[in-house]
Structure 1
Amino acid sequence: MSLEQSITRSPILEGLSALNRWRQDLVSGLHEMAALTADLGLLPSGTMLQLETLAYDTEQDSLRIAFVGEFSRGKTELINALFFSDMGQRLLPSSSGQTTMCPVEIRGAPQGRPGLQLLPIASRSLDVSIEKLKKAGSAWRKFPLSVADKKERSESLAHLTETVCVAVEDARRIGLCPPLNRTPKNRERTVCPSCGLGKVLIPRWRHAILYLAHPVLDAGLTVLDTPGLNAIGAEPELTFSMLADADAIVFLLGADTGVTQSDLMIWDQYLMRNAHQKQIVLLNKIDTLWDELREEDDIQQEITQQVANTATRLRISPDQVIPVSGQKGLVARIRQDAELLERSGLAALERSIAEVLLPARHETIKEKCRMLIERAVLDQKNMLQDQRHRLLAQMDSVQSLKDRTAEKIPKLVAQHQILLKNFEQDRQAFEEKKARFRQAVEELLLIPLAPNTFDLVISNAKAEMLSAWTTAGIVERFRQFFSEAVAHFDRALEGAQQVSAMVAEEYQALQKRYRLPPLRAVPYAMMPRRAELMDMSESYERFGMMLEIAVNTQSSVVRKAFLTVAGRTRDFVVETRREAENWVDEIMAVMNQQLQLFHQNAEEELNSLQSIATTMGNIDTRVQQLEQSLAEIQEQSDRLDRQSAPLLSLLRAPFRPVR
């Protein structure tokens, strides 16, 4: 089997391809369900838009794996071995004397056009997040990338290892060197061997995005290569933007060093506490333990012991620790050496990624889609069932007329006319109360979540944060900031309950009087959103405890860190407010639809009775009309079952990783 065939049949690529095919089927099903919902016209148009938005988000979804560890743990080499050995050489620079100096995101190439984007280190002086800078094309340097020419490709990717000599004052200005008043006396006049007196060596680039046309990337994988986690203290966005947003973390340790104190700190503070992420721990460079003068059993016993010790120190199962040699795995892939590949542990790692990370991502996508899809299908089924029951009741009523004398018809017409008149009066009164509902929504639910209110909270917190020069002060201000945010949420939660009770009370009076269907609009779930905010609070308070180095070095780092937290919290609040507004619009639309449907049916029945009053011969015609309406509803119900079945099946089927 050729090397190309070997890569094509790798469990990671096969698993990603299976996940991608499933995701595309899900996207197609969402589009079809949105079209069917619009065609049936049973639900408000907002539901169709939500289904289309969910389809777009699902189509853009990717599995983000971050490779994390201290310097010289072999992260880049392992990435080369796992994903890009089919290129016949190293893709990313990882040989002796070369290492990536900034975080690198490796993504699929849009329209198959590879390229490299680099963000200059000077952008650290801007109070703008990296996520926002990604949308500012002028802030980045763009380089072409020739995939076919290995020499040109290597020269382009060598930019990732670039450093530059700058004056100490310039380094301090962007937060990469301690202020003068916090610099030890014996280091005030810094001398860099390669730069000279008063200068320091810093990375040339702050962030990199590599676009590459490759099967694993095209199948929905994004690889995050970090330059060593000691960069976290100097760059808080590395923690929030890359690690916190990653779906899975691959944590690399040295087989020759085991778990060092800095490794343990990284694990405790940044990795193990995130319950939403999957983690795989690697003991890399096991080839340093290979010794031709020792028996193979002794070597394997030592590796097993290292795995057990690592699991004990990290308080995880030994099954979660995989011994591997990225360098030997890369050599084995390129040379097509099956024995060396198995001995390097790379094959076992590929199986673990395919069997652990891919099913977890599959489950995450399912959970994201399940609630809206099942609700849309169930609501439409219930509404069709309600219509069917009303038509059957009308048929019973019309059939009973055939057994009555014509003398009773005028009385029934008068009763229906009174019913419609009373209903119109009650409906008009209900419409007049909607203004009060909207005012209550604004005052009780939306004002507590207003963006300008949070802007003021953020502004006040930012000013107080800059005056806090101790870790305890920072942690307390983080805690106070989230306490204020939770207080606004609690007001909004109480308001949501009051609004729900107010609307339900008014609708239930009409429902009881006119036997309307129960209001099936799902109440807005504020409590889970509040729980998410509490989780954010706990996570960011722990991050505040880690900012002591930032307080002792550069106030701009504290400002950037808080702005990152505040910005994410504000976005969370704005999103919650937008969902609350959608909920209010949806419940109002559903009530209007139920009232309109009752009015329409009542008028149809009155018209039918009036026709019957003119001639009793119209009864048979009315029965035929009702039977035709029943057939149409049954056809719609069958169509809904037929088109929703494959989509619901996709949500219920388990993901089977490639064996």
Structure 2
Amino acid sequence: MEEQQPIVVQLAAFNQWRNAVATQIQTLERLIADSGLLPGSALLRMGNLAHCIANDQLRVAFVGEFSRGKSELINALFFSNYGGRLLPSASGQTTMCPVEIQHAPMGVPGMRLLPIASRGLDHTIKDLKKNQSIWQKFPLPLEQASQRTAALQHLTDTICVGVEEARRIGLCPPLNQTRKDRLNTVCPPCGLGKVQIPRWRHGIICLPHPVLAAGLTILDTPGLNAIGAEPELTLAMLMEANAIVFILGADTGVTQSDLDIWENYLARNPRQNHLVVLNKIDTLWDELKDPEEIEEEIQEQVRRTAERLGVDTAQVLAVSAQKALLGRIKQNEELVEKSRIEALELAIAHNLIPAKRRKICDEVRTTIDRIFADQQMLLTNQIKDLEQNHHSLFALKDQTEDKVPKLLAAHRQTITQFEQDRLRFEQKKRDFLSQAEHLLFSLLDPVAIDLVISNAKNEMLSAWTTAGIQERLRQFFTETLSRFEKALHGAERLNTLMLISYSDLESRYGLPHLNALPYAIMPRRAELMEMAEHYESFGKRLEIAVNTQSAVVRKAFLTVAQRVRDFVAETLSQAQVWVDEVITVMEKQLELHTQRVQQQLQNLQQIEQVLGSLDTRIGQVIEEIAQKRKQQNQLKAAYAPLKQLLEEQPGPGNASVPPQAAAVQGGSAG
């Protein structure tokens, strides 16, 4: 049954398409590398892009309050082939920590769990994932259901700790926010002064499964009504997800706590795709009602849910995860159909997966179109030079022997003058690089951002009011945006300075005109402003921010600061690549002109020695022109299937891989 599920079919098709795109980029990269015209940085970007696409993951997060059936829905959608529940989801078996379900690269299943005590460390989840020693590893036997269930039962583990220990790691309100009648907490299993908290902070499950092998990563979140105690859950997992499946109860509809989660944590990211699931419709299956009445009640709940969340009714789907899982395990097609799980699979397959595909297309076009255009321009210029050389050779053939020495003397004088001008250009280039460091690179230096982060962190921890903390967070983004403004002006000045230096040589020696573009920092500034607005809104939700020594505030700000620092560092890297490419393209034109005039000198010398050798040289030039045109045609032929892959629209169950790409790919489907 699993092979026929729409989500499995579409993921396999998406994986095949993604591999075909990566393969075509690699083919294009090899052709461009063979021509030796573009700088290594352009080839490196193409290689990195192909690698990222081939190894990219579609991250889908399942989000909702406690007991909405998130884990059961994941079991029904993806893991019914195990003949039972994979993730614990029965009564009293709530998943207590965020869980990532990934493909097992070596085919060996396993589970890693991060102890809750790690909350006391000043490190983000992203950093902690790199430290293997801090995680506890568990084997995950899949063949034996009892052993598999026992292993995964760890996800529901809790421990009893003292109130002070819970308060130290941010899982208990500080004294100034605790009601007096609750100061002496009693936990029934543990006694006076104890509280029950999750044993684990984060879980990673690796499984050899076709859906995961096709590039899907599943994020199972715990109930989000306690999200204020773990802000990294929002900042890290939810913000990095490509799509969100928001799960509600069909019997309750949108509760106030559901609405708070939607408005404050999910609907704020316009780049994400959302589906809303009304689970447990089996609670509405009343045998005393006609099927038409039940259907009308379900559709009315769908309509009210869409209206309250402000989404289209097509984004709201009503299902019964428990009945879907039962029907698939028992191979009861009627019960599976009644559960409506296949409609949800179609929505995921035909909405979330194409959205991820469009994102990949945008990234490929942004990188490849510019490189392709640069390569074609350089080849066109070379062909033009060769044709001029070919014309010159014919003209020289008509020259008499007494004119050749005069032509040689004039040409040598031109070469000498050009070399002097080129040396002066080299000095200007060094000045340009110095200006680049001053006007652009220093403003985006991560070390300087670290100082801003350190100052902001110290001032934030010394603030005594929520308003003070919010003001410091706004000031932090104001300082960072100010650096972006200065860097933007610096990039514009650099572009003008270098083009002025090049234009002098261009006018003297007839070099190809360059339309070097200033570094496009403005869109990244807009993205940073959007990030600032989101995090400022998130900061207002930290209800325990007034505690100046709060570990939650510190970790929340460090998460924000790390994301901003990574963003600035990525911008710096792009700016450095831009400066390198601008200089390299100009140097390439100077080098090509040097080769051209040297070749013309050799032509004159050969004419001087043996005028009859002109016919041989003319034949060589004709061959070189043919070779350059062949390279142009090969480049277009390699670009065409990639362009077709990016432009065509996928259909249901269609891998959407053109014949050219399929032939190159060699049948490597997901």
For normalisation by structure 2, the TM-score amounts to 0.96
- Residue 439 of structure 2: which of 438, 444, 455 is its match? 444
Is the CA contact (8 Å cut-off) linking 1:284 and 1:325 kept in structure 2? yes
1:474 partner amino acid: I
TM alignment of 1:90-489, pairs within 5 A: 90-489=85-484
Query: Residue 513 in 1 paired to residue 522 in 2?
Result: no
What per-residue deviation string (whole Å, max 9, x for no partner) do you get for residues 171-218 of structure 1? 111111112232111011001111111101100000000001111111
Matches of 1:312 and 1:354, distance apart in 2: 24
Matches of 2:149 and 2:319, distance apart in 1: 26
Matches of 2:617 and 2:396, distance apart in 1: 11
Is the CA contact (8 Å cut-off) linking 1:379 and 1:520 kept in structure 2? no
1:637 partner amino acid: Q
Q: How far does residue 464 in structure 1 lie from its aligned partner after superposition?
A: 1.4
Q: How far does residue 310 in structure 1 lie from its aligned partner after superposition?
A: 0.7
- Residue 639 of structure 1: which of 634, 637, 640 is its match? 634
Q: How far does residue 618 in structure 1 lie from its aligned partner after superposition?
A: 2.3
Q: How far does residue 135 in structure 1 lie from its aligned partner after superposition?
A: 0.5
Matches of 1:53 and 1:76, distance apart in 2: 35
What per-residue deviation string (whole Å, max 9, x for no partner) do you get for residues 109-130 of structure 1? 1210100000000000000000
Matches of 1:466 and 1:550, distance apart in 2: 9
Q: How far does residue 649 in structure 1 lie from its aligned partner after superposition?
A: 2.1
Matches of 2:13 and 2:465, distance apart in 1: 51
Q: Percent identity?
A: 55
Is the CA contact (8 Å cut-off) linking 2:63 and 2:220 kept in structure 1? yes
TM alignment of 1:573-652, pairs within 5 A: 573-652=568-647
1:458 partner amino acid: I
Matches of 2:331 and 2:450, distance apart in 1: 58
Q: How far does residue 553 in structure 1 lie from its aligned partner after superposition?
A: 9.3
Unaligned runs of 5+ in 2: 655-670
Matches of 1:382 and 1:582, distance apart in 2: 19
SS of corresponding position for 1:233: helix
Is the CA contact (8 Å cut-off) linking 1:175 and 1:553 kept in structure 2? no
Matches of 2:548 and 2:615, distance apart in 1: 89
Matches of 2:165 and 2:539, distance apart in 1: 26
Partner of 2:649: 654
Partner of 2:67: 72
| More moved, 14-23 vs 641-650 | 641-650
Matches of 2:162 and 2:4, distance apart in 1: 51
| More moved, 202-211 vs 363-372 | 363-372
For normalisation by structure 1, the TM-score amounts to 0.97
- Residue 30 of structure 1: which of 25, 28, 33 is its match? 25
| More moved, 18-27 vs 120-129 | 18-27
Matches of 2:37 and 2:257, distance apart in 1: 59
1:17 partner amino acid: A
Matches of 1:380 and 1:129, distance apart in 2: 42
2:584 partner amino acid: A
2:444 partner amino acid: L
SS of corresponding position for 2:92: coil
Is the CA contact (8 Å cut-off) linking 1:182 and 1:552 kept in structure 2? no
Matches of 1:351 and 1:571, distance apart in 2: 36
Matches of 1:504 and 1:44, distance apart in 2: 19
Is the CA contact (8 Å cut-off) linking 1:359 and 1:656 kept in structure 2? no
Q: How far does residue 554 in structure 1 lie from its aligned partner after superposition?
A: 6.2
Matches of 1:35 and 1:275, distance apart in 2: 37
Q: How far does residue 606 in structure 1 lie from its aligned partner after superposition?
A: 1.2
Unaligned runs of 5+ in 1: 1-5
Is the CA contact (8 Å cut-off) linking 1:115 and 1:210 kept in structure 2? yes
Q: How far does residue 645 in structure 1 lie from its aligned partner after superposition?
A: 2.2
Is the CA contact (8 Å cut-off) linking 2:76 and 2:322 kept in structure 1? yes
Q: How far does residue 255 in structure 1 lie from its aligned partner after superposition?
A: 0.9
Q: How far does residue 644 in structure 1 lie from its aligned partner after superposition?
A: 2.5
Matches of 1:216 and 1:625, distance apart in 2: 56
SS of corresponding position for 2:254: coil
Structure 1 residues 304 and 554: alpha-carbon distance in aligned structure 2, compared to 1, 3 A threshold: farther
What per-residue deviation string (whole Å, max 9, x for no partner) do you get for residues 218-243 of structure 1? 11100000001123201111001110
Matches of 1:82 and 1:329, distance apart in 2: 8
Structure 1 residues 472 and 256: alpha-carbon distance in aligned structure 2, compared to 1, 3 A threshold: same
Matches of 2:377 and 2:621, distance apart in 1: 19
Matches of 2:632 and 2:363, distance apart in 1: 26
Q: How far does residue 593 in structure 1 lie from its aligned partner after superposition?
A: 1.3
Q: How far does residue 431 in structure 1 lie from its aligned partner after superposition?
A: 0.7
Is the CA contact (8 Å cut-off) linking 1:233 and 1:550 kept in structure 2? no
Is the CA contact (8 Å cut-off) linking 1:165 and 1:201 kept in structure 2? yes
Structure 1 residues 232 and 553: alpha-carbon distance in aligned structure 2, compared to 1, 3 A threshold: farther
Matches of 1:219 and 1:324, distance apart in 2: 25
Q: How far does residue 521 in structure 1 lie from its aligned partner after superposition?
A: 4.8
How many equivalent pairs are there? 654
Partner of 1:566: 561
Is the CA contact (8 Å cut-off) linking 2:466 and 2:545 kept in structure 1? no
Is the CA contact (8 Å cut-off) linking 1:179 and 1:554 kept in structure 2? no
Matches of 1:316 and 1:218, distance apart in 2: 32
Matches of 1:275 and 1:161, distance apart in 2: 33
1:21 partner amino acid: Q
Partner of 1:3: none
Higher relative contact order (CA 8 A, sep 6+): 2
Structure 1 residues 474 and 287: alpha-carbon distance in aligned structure 2, compared to 1, 3 A threshold: same
Matches of 1:468 and 1:287, distance apart in 2: 51
Is the CA contact (8 Å cut-off) linking 2:68 and 2:249 kept in structure 1? yes
Matches of 1:309 and 1:652, distance apart in 2: 37
Alignment RMSD: 1.4
What per-residue deviation string (whole Å, max 9, x for no partner) do you get for residues 115-170 of structure 1? 00000000000000001100000010000010111111100000000001111111
Q: How far does residue 522 in structure 1 lie from its aligned partner after superposition?
A: 4.4
